[in-house]
A and B are shown apart, each in its own frame.
Chain A
Amino acid sequence: MNDSNKHPDQATEAAGLKSRPQAPRLAVFKFASCDGCQLQILSCEDELLTIADQVQIVHFLEASSHFEEGPYDVALVEGSITTAADRDRIRQVRQQSRFLIAIGACATSGGIQALKNWGDHHEFSRCVYAEPAYIRTLSTSTAISEHVTVDFELRGCPINRLQLVEVIQALLRGQSPRTPRHSVCIDCKRRGTVCVAVAQDKVCLGPVTQSGCGAICPSFDRGCYGCFGPAGQPNCESLTEHWIGCGRSPVSLVPLMRNFNADAPAFREEGDRIDPDYDQGHVL
């Protein structure tokens, strides 16, 4: 979470969320996204029943066509802002919600669709749609925090459901959620996974990526894709310069940085640094 997103007053106030006479009202909103993070909420299964005991889920279109108007105690927001209409809608959600939690790579960094930020969206529209005239879109895909104050950002593509339970639990109790900012490497080591970068010469973003997935990809002999975004104080430049020193071309490394969290500042700056003239269009 960015320091600027901390709201001590609200955190203190949250101590009351669980003790209030009525269960807190929780809403789930979707913006530009694949719905995968909302599915993670449904994947909670056993925990979902306990969550439903402790909060009223009053707006969750992925799960139910019944929905209630605000205000809401907690809003979980999936997706990025890619249209003017969504830019207005997120402001309304913010106004109606005491706590706004951005969930997933789209909501926290703009998602994979933020690749358009390097290209010409009119050209993309012409390539993809038969009648591009009907498409009204912003030229960028941006994180929720670019538009409204976000109280907590839960990373991941998709989010880890156990971390989501941790966030909801922390809100109910008025605690700070515990979502470590350390690298994926520590998770590999705790589970005994041998480093795929050192032993198999695979490019792996694990050393600069925030923990959260439990280090799944390296355990299947694949390098980390950076799904949980940059770790705390990531040193991306050292990592990419090491790869370049080992014979990889800068142009081959840009797509690694521009992935599910392409527009997360640390990854964006590093991709731009490696090859400022990289043509995002040529991969399409």
Chain B
Amino acid sequence: MGWGEAEAMAMSRQETLANAASLWLERSTLDELIRLLRGEGFTVVGPRLDQGAIVYGEIERASDLPRGWTDDQKPGKYRLENSGGEAYFEYNVGPHSWKQFFFPPRLAVERAKREENGGWTFSRPEPSDERYALLGVRACELAAIAVQDRVMMNGPYVDREYAARRESALIIAVNCTVAAETCFCTSMGSGPRCQADFDLALTETEEGFVLEVGTEAGWEIAARLEHCEASPDQLASADRLRHRAEDQISKEMSNDGIRDLLLNNLNHPHWDKVAARCLSCTNCTMVCPTCFCSTVNDVSELAGDEVERVRQWDSCFNLEFGYTAGGTVRNSIRNRYRQWLTHKLASWHDQFDTSGCVGCGRCITWCPVGIDLTEEVEAIRQQPAKRREVPLPQPRPDACVVPGEAAADQSNRPRSVGQTIDDRQRGASDSAEAQQDASIADGGTDRE
């Protein structure tokens, strides 16, 4: 098809777009969508079968997708299964999350080279110019991306690699039509329906896809696809399947006063019980779509003339992560599990004005011993030790600001050259830890 012809077809489709709330795509159009995105220079990433699971990787055609596959998930267990149907997206979120594309596991952030005169030349690698089209983003994952946006680029310190990758990305969401035993998005208010923050959103039915358009960029893609207005029957069918997913969600976690509940119970005996089970292996933080901690090391070759500063995913469950002058500040599994859970569900609110949990259930499925955070919270809720309101930590001059204040703050505050997102994250977790330490002062130190 030539450009003129394509544009003419797009013009005729505009009328449908202008009038319809939702469009209809035939199932075969999915391949057309992938080809179109690739033709536009996007690297299309989406679900595919690999290593006995549905992971995220590059998608070249619709046949790369896990058509006819689904999964069974329980605490500490994941199994691929035949779905018995023809659907491309009838699975639940798996071991990978989209953060790997915006916040890569390993990244060179700085380089230094010794010159012949003995001096050093410093350089900073340019951010990636890869443009990702994310195909198959679920509602909980849209929420997770929104949380990471706040952390990585909507505050005073912008991670330029994240921002470059994120801002150039196109998001094609897919509404869930099934749910896993580990899903609890309804408790976190993040799903299962995709409400916003997508360019396009699909709901897959037995015959094809109902398509919603979320942005101008999404509109431009939709206009070039073979489509028509979705019929009332097609819309009803999509609605029924979305409700099926919602009905299948059985796990719950009450968020009622959860911040004060956890911060009031830092010495609750239940922390010892969960510490006896926790492996401190980092799996929950690695699979979490919002966890953002990293470590930065300078790596040189043996002669020491070339040095690369490398950022890698790290975890609050690592002993080295809490290592400061004088020792490791979270020197027991109990301290580290408590730090993770109270940060994710409690002090995250103070720091980022949102929960750090989106209810995707990955930390439950991928914990090798099946620890379920909803049960840990519930155990504390059943027998809370204290009830009082925990005051917000006092803001520090260099503490990060909540989104909304960020823009104003950014405009009149010069960004310190040496400060990176990692300084900010370290500062943030310090303040959460300081708050805990203040609360446990009467209970003695937890250092071993």
* Residues in A lying within 8 Å of B, measured CB to CB: 47, 50-51, 53-54, 165, 168-169, 173, 178, 180-183, 185-186, 189-195, 197-201, 204, 206-208, 221, 231-235, 237-239, 242
Contact = CB atoms under 8 A, between A and B. Distances in A.
Contacts of B271: none
9 contacts: A50-B301, A181-B319, A182-B319, A194-B94, A195-B368, A199-B51, A199-B53, A199-B80, A235-B333
Interface stretch (B281-289, B340-348, B382-390, B412-420): B281-289
Contacts, number: 128
Contacts of A53: 303
B276 interface: yes
A266 B306 CA distance: 39
Contacts of B77: 198, 201
B354 interface: no
Contacts of A204: 368
Interface string B272-298: 000011111111001100000000010
A207 B53 contact: no
A205 B266 CA distance: 31
A221 B106 CA distance: 23
Given A185-B281, A186-B313, A198-B368, A242 B320 contact: no
Name the residue in A169, A191, A195 with the highest tally of chain B Cβ atoms < 10 Å from its Cβ.
Answer: A195
Contacts of A201: 77
Nearest to A180: B320
Given A195-B95, A198-B365, A239-B368, A189 B282 contact: yes
B369 A242 contact: yes
Contact of B369 (A50, A183, A231, A238): A238
Contacts of A207: 279, 281, 283, 368
Contacts of B441: none
Contact of B79 (A191, A199, A232): A199
A182 B302 contact: no
Classify the interface of chain A: helix, strand, loop or mixed.
Answer: helix
B85 to A, nearest CB: 22
B384 to A, nearest CB: 26
B304 interface: yes
A198 B317 CA distance: 19
A182 B78 contact: no
A175 to B, nearest CB: 10
B318 interface: yes
A208 B105 contact: no
Contacts of A221: 51-52
Contact of A189 (B287, B297, B318, B319): B287
B427 interface: no
B320 A181 contact: yes
A242 B105 CA distance: 29
B279 A235 contact: yes
A169 B78 contact: no
B376 to A, nearest CB: 14
Q: Which 7 A-B pairs have the closest CB atoms?
A: A189-B286, A207-B281, A194-B51, A190-B105, A242-B369, A207-B279, A50-B302
Contact of B318 (A182, A206, A235, A239): A182
A96 B369 CA distance: 48
A208 B318 CA distance: 12
A21 B315 CA distance: 43
Given A194-B52, A233-B332, A178 B278 contact: no
B312 A200 contact: no
A198 B366 contact: yes
Given A169-B304, A180-B320, A242 B370 contact: yes
A238 B279 contact: yes
B83 interface: no
Contacts of B279: 183, 207-208, 234-235, 238-239
Given A190-B286, A198-B76, 4 more contacts: A192-B96, A195-B368, A198-B95, A206-B281
Contacts of B50: 194
A242 B282 contact: no
Contact of A190 (B76, B95, B106, B281): B106
Nearest to A165: B302
Contacts of B277: 235, 238
B55 interface: yes
A51 B52 contact: no
Contacts of B320: 180-182, 232
A178 B312 CA distance: 14
A182 B315 CA distance: 10
Contact of B303 (A50, A185, A237): A50
Contacts of B312: 190
Contact of A238 (B278, B315, B365): B278
B12 interface: no
A185 B286 contact: yes
B300 interface: yes
A198 B280 contact: no
Nearest to A235: B279
Contact of B302 (A54, A232, A242): A54
Contacts of A54: 302-303
